[in-house]
Amino acid sequence: MTAGLQGSLMVDVAGTWLTAEDRQLLRQPEVGGLIIFARNIEHPRQVRELSAAIRAIRPDLLLAVDQEGGRVQRLRQGFVRLPAMRAIADNANAEYLAEQCGWIMATEVLAVGLDLSFAPVLDLDYQRSAVVGTRSFEGDAERAALLAGAFIRGMNSAGMAATGKHFPGHGWAEADSHVAIPNDERSLDEIRANDLVPFARLSKHLAAVMPAHVIYPQVDSQPAGFSRRWLQDILRGELQFDGVIFSDDLSMAGAHVVGDAASRIEAALSAGCDMGLVCNDRAAAELALSAAQRMKVKPSARIARMRGQAFASTDYRQDPRWLTAIGALKEAQLID
């Protein structure tokens, strides 16, 4: 594989250390990233050791986690328990608090050897979607964009690139795409006037976008992550977005509409995703790997931009900015 270019698959592993089978999978050049989940995590030192073991095999791999705050926080023991983003919006200094929250999250994730957290959530809170809910900053599109922008500034100042999700907005569809195939019946004009606003406002500040496993039948019959209309015409064309497009997990029920794991990775990459996530199903990951090998997909140079600037020291809790940020969140009663 050409230096600086990344494979098009992001996979996972089962435990807190690598098996021989994991090592073999990670050596495949089509694998460009690895995401860790709660089952892979014991405490900060163990995560650092796991990251180092992965880097020893593939120094170029992109290492990711979902560390949004609230109920979506994989790193827990030994890490700050971040608030749900919706809790930030109710404070008078919400923009400042969102920036501090983004900085704390990114600092802790980078310190254990990971490159990025898939954050922030740009979905709007219509109080319809149980899977979005308090993960959203706001129901108001402009205010959601303002607060998410502040969170991104915090992430960036810690050395982490931001990923906006779930394009073009998962907040209206009621079904949970982890277990069902959600539909959003609204017109493109209505989505454009509301849900697309944070993505449009922040398109130059986002290094990556993750599309939703939601079908918007008035726009396309395919879920957004498999739709050239959404990814090429609207995201790349209309919003002028030039960052990475990560698929959401292709093992989720919302992705099954296009067939087996091989069909899903083919559809996602053909629609315009730079990297497809295949998680929690090793057989599906191997099917997707075989498909990626057959496709001979040209690796994306964009993905290398997502590499984090990890702290050389894990002693970040002595940093004056850390003390200030933690103090601000405690004063707002957002953390204990």
* Catalytic residue ranges: 178, 248
Question: Rounded distance, CA 235 to CA 165, Å?
Answer: 12
Longest dimension (CA), the chain: 55
HSE value, Cβ hemisphere, 13 Å, CA-based, for 184: 30
Question: Rounded distance, CA 70 to CA 307, Å?
Answer: 25
**Chain mean position to CA 107:** 16
Question: Rounded distance, CA 148 to CA 125, Å?
Answer: 13
Which tokens hold the place of 133?
A: 């809910």
Residue 22 has a CB neighbour count (10 Å cut-off) of: 20
Pick the closest to residue 281 from 308, 237, 249, 240 (CA basis): 249
Question: Rounded distance, CA 235 to CA 228, Å?
Answer: 9
Q: Are 267 and 226 in contact (CB under 8 A)?
A: yes
Question: Rounded distance, CA 26 to CA 32, Å?
Answer: 8
HSE value, Cβ hemisphere, 13 Å, CA-based, for 272: 24
Which tokens hold the place of 68?
A: 């949004």
> Which amino acid type is present at position 274?
D
- The residue with tokens 């004063």 is 331
Which tokens hold the place of 104?
A: 């704390």
Give the three-state DSSP class for 138. Answer: coil
**Peptide bond before residue 223 is cis, with ω within 30 degrees of 0:** no
> Which amino acid type is present at position 183?
N
